[in-house]
């Protein structure tokens, strides 16, 4: 009987040890599960923050690109207007030059014709005098 009581005692101690081990293991698994869930939640929050930051950055870049494009278009319009004004000024100068050149040429032709008429008149008067 004593052996039986001894065996029951040993088995009880083993059972208590196994129960303690099972409780300890369960507690550790639950803590690990809780810690894993917290880590997953933290990772998800960080991922959301990263995506939000990426979206904000993308939005800012799009805004900056739109502003840059508007500035480029504005500058292009200004340059086009400036070129048009320069072109107009050049055409006006060319027209003025052409008018001045035409007046000079007309004056030269008139002077040439006057000289020719004078020479012709002189020759005729010399013929009359020699007569």
Q: Is the pLDDT of residue 90 over 90?
A: yes
Place 82 in a pLDDT band, splitting at 50, 70 and 90: very high
> What is the arithmetic mean of pLDDT over 37-53?
97
Measured distance CA(121)–CA(67) in Å, rounded: 80
Report the Cα–Cα distance between both ends of the chain, in Å, rounded. Answer: 188
Helices (H), the chain: 2-130
Flag whether pLDDT at 54 surpasses 80. yes
Token couple for 109: 């032709």
| Contact partners, residue 90, CB within 8 Å, separation at least 6 | none
120 has pLDDT over 90: no
How far is residue 48 from each of residues 23, 24, 56, 61, measured CA to CA in Å? 37, 36, 12, 20
pTM of the model: 0.50
Per-residue pLDDT at 52:
97
Q: Which residue has the tokens 């009359």?
A: 128
């Amino acid at each position: 009987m004593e052996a039986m009581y001894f065996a029951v005692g040993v088995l009880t101690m083993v059972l208590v040890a196994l129960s303690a081990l099972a409780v300890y293991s369960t507690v550790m698994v639950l803590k690990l599960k809780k810690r894993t869930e917290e880590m997953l939640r933290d990772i998800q929050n960080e991922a959301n923050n990263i995506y939000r930051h990426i979206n904000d950055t993308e939005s800012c870049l799009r805004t900056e690109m739109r502003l840059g494009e508007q500035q480029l278009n504005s500058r292009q319009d200004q340059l086009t207007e400036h070129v048009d004004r320069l072109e107009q000024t050049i055409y006006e100068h060319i027209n003025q030059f052409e008018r001045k050149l035409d007046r000079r040429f007309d004056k030269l032709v008139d002077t040439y014709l006057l000289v020719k008429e004078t020479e012709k008149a002189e020759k005729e008067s010399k013929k009359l005098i020699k007569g």
